[in-house]
Amino acid sequence: MEKDLTKGKPLSLIIALSIPQILSAVLQLMYNTVDAIIVGNYVGEAGLAGVGISMPITFFLSSIIIGLTAGLSVIVGQYYGAKEYPRLRITVGSSIVALSVAAIAISILGVFFTDNILRIINTPPEVFPHASAYLKIYFTGTIFTILYNIYSGILRALGDAKSPLIFLAIAAGLNVILDLVFIIYFKMETGGAALATIISQGVSSLFCIIYIKKKIPLVYLKPKEYKFHKENFRLVLKYGLPSAIQMSIIALGNMTIQNLVNSYGVSSIAGYSSAIRIDSYIIMPYMNVGVALSNFTGQNVGAGLFDRVEEGLKSAFKLLVVISIITLPIVILFAENLVGIFLDNPLGESVRVGSTMLRNLVPFYIFLGLLNNTSGLLRGSGDNVFSMFGSFISIIVRIVLAYSLNSILGISSVWYGAAIGWIVAFIFVYLRVKSGKWKEKGVRT
């Protein structure tokens, strides 16, 4: 159900929003993680590398719509905080129509250009068929990913982070079962992993739609309300396009980095892919406290409570310290065990590469959290352009350092470049927050 985030202690509210959000993100990651574990153990290292190479590509081609759904969440949160419910409904209806059409276009383009993209990033021949099969099936289900992001984003903007978590938990369990059936029983290899993922995502999006129909009448629209309104969608573009560009930049940067990693061979690709999957779990708290702060900010900016937003940022920073104290010793002590989950040879070169990456990155995760918290405040307030600039700076620094230091540090330049990029980008967005200019960027200002 909806929750008014303009009342109550900011720290308690952000924790309450963060926990379901973090768990939802972890469950969403389980789609790919279960794929990787089963593929790595039943298809082999080349299959695991194929799924790993697919990750930045799928993220890039879906990033535009996912970014736009983030813009929609900002508008929904601010309209809800301002109690402008008719405008909220019109914006939701118009956005669903436009984004659904865009999702279909992304599916078609994704399937059509898969092999070309894999050739551009120098995918090794033994990995190519696995990556191609995974991507082509995955992209046919883009509409389900988009629908889930639209409806779950709306629910979170209204202060309901628990319901999307429940629906995703059901879908994650289904994904495990389908992975085992398609890969082990039907011998579909990486294609089976992709098929299990899109079916599970379809189920989670369906649950979201049914729940909204029964429990959230505020955003349950009648058929005639699903109309495209240019002016309303232009507002979604205003707040969502910077997020879409931001995510696209990150995805392009990841593909550029993947191209460098690919030059080190299959073992390094598999080790890096395994470490990235563990890394994705580790950074979830750091990332999603920022998402919770963004939702908190949206409603409070809509209500004009700017001091309360700043108090929320301080509370989020406190949470980062606690998260880091828990995370650091776990990664340092168990890096090989974590990476080895995905590989059938726990003593091989792949594990060495992956565990080294995790140990070197863990002291810098706090800066990633600081970056995401300050960016979350900017996104929630509607100051998405500067949030986008922060991501752009981060990825440019990462790419430049990875390639320029590669001859000196080898593959280690990949993760050291990322760490320094986080630090530089955080300084940039924090200075924007301190300037106070984000207070002028709301929907109603």
pLDDT tens-digit series, residues 220-245: 888 888 888 887 778 777 777 777 77
Task: Give yes or no for residue 133 having a pLDDT over 90.
Answer: yes
Least confidently predicted of 73-87, 312-326, 415-429: 73-87
Query: How large is the average pLDDT for residues 264-293?
Result: 80
Find the mean pLDDT for residues 46-55.
80
Decide if pLDDT at 61 tops 60: yes
Domain count, the chain: 1
Residue 445 has pLDDT above 60, yes or no: no
Non-local (6+) Cβ contacts of 430 within 8 A are 370, 374
Q: Quick one: pLDDT at residue 428?
A: 93
Residue-level pLDDT at 195: 92
Confidence of residue 1 (pLDDT cuts 50, 70, 90): low
Q: Which of 406, 433, 428 minimizes the C-alpha distance to 417? A: 406
Mean pLDDT for the stretch of residues 420-445: 84
Quick one: pLDDT at residue 344? 60
Amino acid at 443: V
The mean per-residue pLDDT over the stretch 424-444 comes to 84
Q: Does any domain span residue 276?
A: yes
Domain-located, residue 328: yes
pLDDT at residue 40 in the model: 77
Distance of CA 125 to the CA centre of its chain: 29
Reply yes or no on whether the pLDDT at 96 is more than 70: yes
DSSP states of 244-310:
HHHHHHHHHHHHHHHHHHHTT-HHHHHHHHHHHHHHHHHTHHHHHHHHHHHHHHHHHHHTT-HHHHH
pLDDT at 186 over 70: yes
Q: How far is CA 66 from CA 60, 69, 288, in A?
A: 10, 5, 15
Length of the chain: 445
Query: Taking the CA of residue 193 as centre, how many other CA atoms within 13 Å lie in the half-sphere pointing to its CB?
Result: 29
349-364 pLDDT per residue, tens: 788 888 888 888 888 8
The answer as to whether 1 is a domain residue is no
Within-domain flag for 59:
yes
d(CA 59, CA 180): 24
Name the residue with tokens 């949470």: 319
SS3 129: helix
Calculate the CA dihedral of residues 115, 394, 388, 331 and round it to 10 degrees: 80
Distance CA 311, CA 365 (A): 23
pLDDT at 384 over 80: no
Q: Can you tell me the distance from the alpha carbon of 312 to that of 10, in angstroms, rounded to the nearest whole number?
A: 5
Give the dihedral sign, CA 21/310/439/373.
negative
pLDDT digits (tens, 9 = 90+) for 22-46: 777 777 666 666 767 788 778 877 8
- Note whether residue 252 is domain-resident: yes
d(CA 60, CA 134): 15
Which among 85, 110, 233, 218 is positioned nearest to 155, based on CA atoms?
218
**pTM for the whole structure:** 0.69
User: Does the pLDDT of residue 55 top 80, yes or no?
Assistant: no
Exposure of 435 by Cβ count < 10 A (0-12 exposed, 13-18 middle, 19+ buried)? exposed
Structural domain span for residue 38: 10-440
In a domain, 62, yes or no: yes
Q: What is the pLDDT of residues 391-403, one digit of tens each?
A: 889 889 989 998 9
Asked if pLDDT for residue 83 goes beyond 70, the answer is yes
Of 343 and 381, more confident: 381
What does the alpha-carbon distance between residue 64 and residue 203 come to, in Å, rounded to a whole number?
A: 23
What are the C-alpha distances in Å from 422 to residues 29, 53, 86, 196, 256? 22, 23, 40, 34, 17
Residue 292, both tokens: 């919770």
4 belongs to a structural domain? no
The predicted model gives 326-355 an average pLDDT of: 78
- Residue 385: inside a domain: yes
